[in-house]
Amino acid sequence: MCTVTFLPFNQREFILTSNRDEDVNRISALPVQEYKVNDRTVFFPKDQKANGTWIAYDVKGYTLCLLNGANKPHTPKSNYKKSRGLVLLDFYFYNEPEDFAKLYDFVGIEPFTLILAYSCSDTESVKLYELKWDGLKVELITHDSSLPQIWSSVTLYSPEIISERKNWFEVWLSKHSSYTTDNILFFHHFGGNGSTDNDLVMNRTSKKTISICCINKSITHTDIIYEDIVNKKLHKSKVINC
């Protein structure tokens, strides 16, 4: 939920990886399984508290990943209309990010950032979007999908730390001419400078990294690796793309 990287290759394929930082006492999510959402086949790990998710893969197009917060830290309210993890799944009732941004009722939802990577064709390039809801307005950003990206949650990391994490990512990129699940997972496990508060696998008094999920989207199939760090369990799925 709180650190996400996007790595493009071959113009139509990508790897999206997420470290989920959560309350230390939060119950573990269910590993990645297949679900039906608006008659779409979607794979995701399910949060057992709210029954939503922070990362999902739709075999016909969109890979989504959620981060807490939008542009700056906010003070959480005592209650919200709906969990942000359920909002992510609501996206699959829309055809395009523009429709979702324009038509969905975000009022009463806690601020979040949603990364959307679209790839469903062996001829079209990947499309990459970033949707931000700050509690008052929606912003939809289109990114250059040929460029690697990293995002860190503004609710956990200061602008200075977010900048430093981008530097770590740039150094990692400079050392890798090609991208694989193994080498990006190594970064998501060991990226940092030795600070347990701010490394990619973080461990604070009340929050820590509890899982890592990596979605490797190729033209013919998609590999999903889900690691439950707390319970030391590794789950792998291979999905044949439609």
Name the residue among 99, 29, 105, 102 with its Cα closest to residue 62. 99
Enclosing H/E stretch for 235: strand 233-240
Reading the chain (242 residues) residue by residue, the pLDDT tens digits are: 699 999 999 888 999 999 999 998 889 999 999 999 999 999 999 999 899 999 999 998 899 999 999 999 999 998 999 999 999 999 999 989 999 999 999 999 999 999 999 987 666 899 999 999 999 999 999 999 999 999 999 999 999 999 999 999 999 999 999 999 999 999 999 999 999 999 999 999 999 999 999 999 998 899 999 999 999 999 999 998 86
Rounded to whole angstroms, how far apart are CA atoms 155 and 163? Answer: 14
- 10 Å CB burial of residue 138 (0-12, 13-18, 19+) is middle
Structure tokens at 55: 């990362």
- Is the full-model pTM beyond 0.85? yes
Domain 3-240 has CATH 3.30.70.360: no
Amino acid sitting at position 199: D
CB atoms within 10 A of CB 2: 24
Are the beta carbons of 188 and 197 closer than 8 angstroms?
A: no
Domain ranges, ordered by start, for the chain: 3-240
